[in-house]
Amino acid sequence: MIKKLFHLVFAIVFCALFTAVVVAVAYIAYLYFYRIDILNPNTYQNIADYWNSGAILTGNDLLMLLGIFLIIPVNLLGWWLIYRCKYADLILKPLAWFSNIGAKDYQAPDVNIKNLKVEEKKTIEQLVNERLEQEKKKRPTVEPGQFRQDIIERIEKNRK
């Protein structure tokens, strides 16, 4: 019972914070884009007078009114999501997102510890010799005379 009560109180606090953020963002957006104060009742009286005087509303005006009317459903949807979330997620997820902003640039590749081998330190001469052996395996040296002889032998075998 106390756990549910704590969850409810916590949800109410977060819903109040969410409402404050939504209203602040809407207020700043409407001041910036439409230069109207959505928290002032005189604004709505001016809109009603404009509508009742027979003015034709343009697409921009309708978008402004739609945005004003959508503040409440967005707020209610946010409340519903906040109430359904666990209170620890509400606190820790933003912190986790914030901490992972730069971490993606510095992630190291996965290392399989089982296949790591400790190699002996080799001298430069040993490293050069190993490299030369690898190059010889890639391109075996064949003398031109021997190469021609091998081709002639193959042609004669194919004729028979």
Tell me which DSSP letter residue 108 carries. Answer: P
Burial class (CB in 10 A: 0-12, 13-18, 19+), 61: middle
From first to last of its 160 residues, the chain has per-residue pLDDT tens of 888 888 788 888 888 999 999 999 999 999 998 888 989 999 889 888 988 998 887 888 888 889 889 999 999 999 898 888 777 776 787 788 877 777 766 766 666 666 556 666 767 777 777 777 776 676 656 666 666 677 677 777 776 6
pLDDT at 54: 85
- Find, among 11, 9, 1, 6, the residue nearest to 84 by Cα: 11
Number of other CB atoms surrounding residue 30 within 10 Å: 19
- pLDDT for 28 equals 95
29 within 8 A of 68, measured Cβ to Cβ: no
Q: What is the pLDDT of residue 111?
A: 61
Q: Give the Cα separation of 71 and 19 in Å (integer).
A: 10
Q: What is the pLDDT of residue 126?
A: 74
139, HSE (Cβ side, Cα atoms, 13 Å): 4
Domain ranges of the chain: 2-104, 120-159
Calculate the alpha carbon distances from 148 to 138, 141, 155 in Å. 20, 14, 11
The per-residue pLDDT for 112 is 62
